[in-house]
Each structure stands twice: as C-alpha cells, then as structure tokens.
C-alpha cells in the first residue's frame, strides 16, 4: 500500500532562513502520525507545502498519490485542515464558516455537524469577532472533523482548548482513525502525540531527526526525577533504566537528579527508601530537553565532548 504522504529531501528557504533542510517524512495510510517539534522547527511550513500554499525549493512531496502544488482542487476534496492560528471573518458566524468550509469541500454531514457542535460545546450563532481563541479553534475543528475525508492535517489543533475539550478532541480523532482516516498531527506537546499517535516523527531545525513507533522512541519518554535526601544512596548508576545520575551537596544533605524509564521508577523508589527523602519532584522531560539531549547525543556520538 502506498503511503498517504511521502516527502523526500524537501528544502524550503525564506530569504536567508532555511525553514526545511532536506526533510524526509512518510505517513502510512490509516495511521495517526505525530509530527513533533519545538516552535519554529518547520512543522507549519511542511503542512503548508503539503497544502500547496507554499512551493518547495527542491525535493519531492507526494500527497494521496498526487502533487500537492499542482493538483490542489482534486487533492483538497479528500482532506481537511485545521490551522494552528485560526482567523475568522468578524461578521460571519461560526456556523456560517463551518458550512462554508464544508460546502467548499463538497458538503458535510448535518448530523455529524450537530453532534460535534454538541461535543465541543460551541455556539454556532456567534459572530467571528466574538469568539475567544479556543472557540475559534473549535470552529475550525468542527469544520474539519465534520467532513468525510481520508486525510486530516492538524496543526497544533488543541492550542487554546481547555483540558475537557482536549479530551473530547482526542476521542474524536480516535473515532476517525478507527474509521480508517489518516491523521498527521503536528504538536509541540509530547503527551498529546503520545496519547494519539501510532508513529511519531520529530523535527528539529527543518529536519526529521527521529521517526518510529512510540515503542521505538520509548527512550525519549524518560521521567526526570529530582530528590533531596539526607544521604545519597549507593548503586543508583547500576540500576537498569536509570540514566544520567548527578549528585551534588545540598544543605546538610544532597540533591540527586536522574532520568528514569517509566518501568524503572519502582526500583528507584526502593533504593531511595531509607535515604531520608525530604522532597521529590518528577516531571516528564519537555520536548526541548529531549531535543537538547538528542543533540548532545549526536555530538557525543561524533566523538566531541
């Protein structure tokens, strides 16, 4: 089966700025593909090239078997898009925008439209200028999700949504994926991609630096643990699944920091028992930290310290 999206060696520059630097990306049919990267990494540029809004300098991009720059009208009938920053017409209501975008895509299912409005708790009779950022986002989401399409391109679709709506969004994406739709989900929130994606690609400085299933990328989801203890325990370095152990004096005791694979958390806690724990924080690493580590790994691998 041919991939829904196949990008090879794609390069795009804006003046002196290189937005995409030989980017490769493959999205298979029927998968939810997380497209992760910090702000300015090139996620939106990639999506805009896939939509024919921007023209690539070199490299190739294939979308649903067609050329995204040339076959705009035929390809766009089969996909829906949610931009990261939704701009609405101040004097059109949300309902009018949803209908307009739906009709442009060849019509939408009224029952599904009504159900989505209900689920996202969106008032469609408000004028565009009266919506908050989150509600503008919902208008674009309902418009995209109510159309019957093969491919969804979502650019940071949950920005501005509250946690309840985020959960609703995830549920809808899962339903669509179960129905066979392909989803490319751009995000800088690791947990969002983790919750939805079958596979993930990580982009940094216009290049995909990691791609694979979540299992394969498990090493990227270590938890950062910082503990203040009276006595630093021995043998932490030897624990499987515990990395980067750093100990430094702190007050009359010590501060201990390390990164831990989720399954190894319990053995870490066992070792810490009796060490006189005074404070403990644990946090999933931010995406930026992952990239920084990925980068330092690259440097270490190349023999540079």
Using CB under 8 A, list all residues that contact other proteins. Answer: 48, 51-55, 72-74, 76-77, 79-81, 83, 85-93, 95-101, 103-106, 123-127, 129-130, 140, 153
- Residue nearer to other proteins on the CB measure, 42 or 233: 42
Is the CB of 129 or the CB of 231 nearer to other proteins? 129
Which is closer to other proteins, CB of 80 or CB of 177?
80
Shortest approach of other proteins to residue 277 CB, angstroms?
Answer: 42
Smallest separation, CB 190 to other proteins (Å): 26
Minimum separation from the CB atom of position 186 to other proteins (A): 14
Give the residue among 193, 242, 221 at the shortest CA–CA distance from 294: 221
Q: Find, among 153, 81, 161, the residue nearest to 119 by Cα.
A: 161
Q: What is the three-class DSSP state of 273?
A: coil
DSSP-derived secondary structure for 10-40 = EEEEETTEEEEEEEEEEE-TT-EEEEE--TT
Neighbours of 132 (CB within 10 A): 10
Please give the radius of gyration of the chain, using alpha carbons only, rounded to the nearest integer: 23
Residue number, 206 or 233, with CB nearest to other proteins: 206
CB of 170 to other proteins, least distance (A): 22
Q: For residue 127, what is the DSSP state?
A: B
- Which token pair is 181? 């739709």
Instruction: Give dist(CA 80, CA 63) in Å, integer.
Output: 13
User: At closest approach, how far in Å is the CB of 143 from other proteins?
Assistant: 8
DSSP state of 147: S
Cβ nearer to other proteins, comparing 89 with 295: 89
DSSP annotation of 191 = H
What torsion do the CA atoms of 87, 92, 95, 98 make, to the nearest 10 degrees?
Answer: -50
β-sheet with 58-63: strand ranges across: 17-27, 5-14, 58-63
Specify the residue, 186 or 211, whose C-beta has the smaller distance to other proteins.
186
Residue closer to other proteins by CB (options 105, 293) is 105
Q: How far is the CB of 135 from other proteins (least distance, A)?
A: 14
CB of 138 to other proteins, least distance (A): 14
């Amino acid at each position: 089966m041919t991939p829904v999206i196949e990008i090879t060696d794609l390069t795009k520059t804006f003046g002196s700025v290189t937005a995409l630097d030989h980017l490769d990306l493959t999205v298979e049919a029927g998968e939810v593909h997380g497209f992760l990267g910090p702000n300015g990494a090139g996620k939106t540029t990639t999506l805009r090239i896939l939509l024919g809004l921007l023209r690539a300098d070199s490299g190739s991009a294939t979308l649903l078997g067609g050329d995204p720059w040339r076959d705009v009208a035929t390809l766009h009938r089969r996909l829906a898009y949610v931009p990261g920053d939704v701009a609405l017409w101040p004097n059109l209501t949300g309902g009018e925008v949803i209908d307009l975008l739906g009709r442009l895509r060849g019509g939408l299912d009224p029952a599904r439209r009504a159900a989505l409005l209900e689920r996202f708790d969106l008032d469609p009779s408000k004028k565009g200028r009266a919506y908050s950022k989150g509600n503008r986002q919902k208008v674009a989401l309902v418009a995209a999700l109510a159309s019957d399409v093969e491919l969804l391109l979502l650019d940071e679709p949950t920005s501005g949504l509250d946690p309840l709506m985020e959960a609703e969004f995830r549920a809808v994406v899962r339903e669509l994926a179960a129905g066979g739709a392909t989803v490319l989900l751009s995000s800088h929130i690791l947990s969002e991609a983790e919750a939805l994606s079958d596979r993930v690609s990580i982009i940094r400085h216009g290049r995909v630096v990691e791609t694979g299933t979540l299992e394969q990328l498990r090493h990227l989801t270590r938890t950062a643990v910082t503990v203040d203890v009276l006595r630093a325990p021995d043998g932490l370095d030897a624990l499987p699944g515990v990395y980067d152990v750093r100990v430094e004096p702190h007050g009359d005791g010590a501060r201990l920091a390390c990164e831990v694979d989720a399954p190894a958390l319990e053995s870490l806690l066992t070792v810490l028992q009796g060490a006189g724990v005074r404070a403990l924080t644990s946090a999933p690493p931010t995406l930026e930290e992952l990239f920084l580590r990925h980068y330092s790994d690259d440097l270490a691998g190349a023999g540079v310290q």
